[in-house]
Amino acid sequence: MATIGLIGSGTIGGTLARLAVDHGHRVVLSNSRGPGTLGDLVAELGPDARADTAEGAAAAGDVVVVTIPLGNYRQVPVEPLRGKVVVDTNNYYPQRDGRIAELDDGTTTSSELLQAHLPESRVVKAFNHIQAGHLADHGTPAGTPGRRALAVAGDDDEARAVVAALVEGFGFDVVDLGPLAEGWRVQPGTPGYGPELDAEGLRRAAAEAHRSRDTA
């Protein structure tokens, strides 16, 4: 049993929290408004869930998921995440997040921005290219024909393996994209973003992706 900290407990964070509890983990939820606003979700998840501040969730988690509107990434607490595996589900939607020049000009990618903000954490991009509803419903046992696959990308091999084990445990094959800089291959606007693909299909989609201003 691990403790999963969540910075952001909305559509995707809440779904990941449910999956984590269903798979025997503890969760510590947080949001921007404070733990007092998360009572309903904590009650629904049961005794393995509690709410805290973002700093508290970051400190409590063995693995911490950052799942917030990307535009707020600079608000993610740095110090309590030092040395930790940080899962990044975030995507860049300029209409929601505001324009981010380094993403618009392709200088970097959204997960590398989070990694730069958390220089001593081990950021792994995961769960960004699947809708929350599908994440909740599409998991199947290993070996199921056509099993849906999800990508992971990150610079630290051990961290990528930790997150891959979570993805696998939640019912999905894993496609390892390698370093964080390759994460753009499953960003909005790429063929791997959204559709239900098995491992072979997702590998092909990632290989065929073209980088553009909208896929940073």
Ligand X SMILES: NC(=O)c1ccc[n+]([C@@H]2O[C@H](COP(=O)([O-])OP(=O)(O)OC[C@H]3O[C@@H](n4cnc5c(N)ncnc54)[C@H](OP(=O)(O)O)[C@@H]3O)[C@@H](O)[C@H]2O)c1
The maximal CA–CA distance of the chain, rounded, in angstroms, is 46
153 burial class (0-12, 13-18, 19+ CB within 10 angstroms)?
buried
Minimum CB separation of residue 172 from ligand X in Å reads: 13
3-state secondary structure of 177: coil
Minimum CB–partner distance for residue 9 and ligand X (Å): 4
Identified binder of ligand X from the candidate list 85, 90, 215, 216, rule CB under 6 A: 90
Neighbours of 160 (CB within 10 A): 24
Rounded distance between C-alpha atoms, residue 199 and residue 149, angstroms = 5
187 binds ligand X (CB under 6 A): no
From the list 2-10, 169-177, 178-186, 203-211, the region that binds ligand X by CB under 6 A is 2-10
For residues 162 and 146, give the distance between their C-alpha atoms in angstroms, rounded to a whole number.
23
Least distance to ligand X from the beta carbon of 30, Å? 6
Closest CB to ligand X among residues 67, 162: 67
Q: Binding mask 58-77 vs ligand X (x if CB under 6 A, - otherwise)?
A: ---------xxxx-x--x--
- Residue 20 interacting with ligand X (CB under 6 A): no
DSSP assignment letter at 140: -
- Rg of the chain's alpha carbons, rounded to an integer? 16
List the structure tokens of 86: 């940080």
Shorter beta-carbon distance to ligand X: residue 194 or 201:
194
State yes or no: residue 86 binds ligand X (CB under 6 A). no
The reply on whether position 11 binds ligand X by CB under 6 A is yes
The separation between CA 47 and the C-alpha centre of its own chain, rounded to angstroms, equals 24
Q: Which is nearer to ligand X, 9 or 215 (CB)?
A: 9
Residues that bind ligand X (CB under 6 A): 7-13, 30-33, 54, 67-70, 72, 75, 89-91, 128, 131-132
